[in-house]
Amino acid sequence: MNISRPDYISEAKRCLATNSYVLVTETTTKSLSPGERLSRLRDVIKENGFEYITMSK
């Protein structure tokens, strides 16, 4: 599937029922590449009304 992260998150918001969950995983090493993709992904998640939760080992 070739879809941008913002489009994916927006589509999840449109499709999910109220109080549903969307789980997004991203490897840290990939996300820390130039452009700070993980930081932008956090912003997109929050802009679409989802709560951002960090899971650690």
| Residue 8, SS3 per DSSP | helix
d(CA 22, CA 24): 6
Look up the pTM and report it: 0.62
pLDDT reported for residue 18: 87
In contact, 43 and 24? CB cutoff 8 Å: no
Categorize the per-residue pLDDT at 15 as very low, low, confident or very high, splitting at 50, 70 and 90.
Answer: very high
Q: Could you read off the pLDDT of 33-51 as tens digits, one per residue?
A: 555 667 788 888 899 888 8
pLDDT of residue 8: 85
Domain range list for the chain: 5-47
Number of Cβ atoms within 10 Å of the Cβ of 51:
7
